[in-house]
Amino acid sequence: MKKRLPYIIMLLLIIAVEVVIALTQHDNWIRSYGGDVIVIWAVYCLVQSVLGGENNHYIVHIGVMLFAFAVEFLQKIHFVDLIGLGNIQFFRVLIGTSFAVEDLWSYAIGTAIGCIATFIYTKMVHCSIK
C-alpha cells in the first residue's frame, strides 16, 4: 500500500484538476488539448495504483498511451453505436463519439511529459541516495 498511496493521491488531484477544467474552461485549447494531456497522467496513476507502483514506469506510460489511442480509434468507427449503447449518454461520454487526430497528439505529449518526469524523478532519487 505504501507504493500505491502516492499514485492514489496524484490520481485524486488530477481528477480534481480535470473537474475544474470541465467546469470553468470553455475555450477550445485548455479544455480540449490540456484535458487530454493530463487525462493520460490520470490513467497512468490509476494503473500504477492498481498494479502496486512497482512496474517499469516507461512501459506503463506507453501502455496507457496505446490504450488511449485504441479508445480514440474506437471513436472513429463509432464503437458506442456499434455495440448498441449509443442512446445511453453515460456510455457516449465514457467511450466518446468523435475521433480527432489532435487528441492523439495530446496523448503523445502527455506520455512524453510523463516519461520525462519519470526520468527526472528517477535521477533525483538516485542522486539523493549517493
Q: What three-state secondary structure class fits 15?
A: helix
- Give the Cα separation of 72 and 94 in Å (integer): 11
Range of the domain at 42: 5-129
Distance CA(81)–CA(77), nearest Å, equals 9
Which amino acid would we find at residue 76? K
Q: pLDDT exceeding 70 applies to what percent of the chain?
A: 96
The segments of the chain whose pLDDT lies below 50 read none
pTM for this entry: 0.87
Number of domains in the chain: 1
Helices marked H in the chain — which ranges? 5-24, 35-51, 57-76, 79-82, 89-95, 101-129
Residue listed under C-alpha cell 507504493: 3
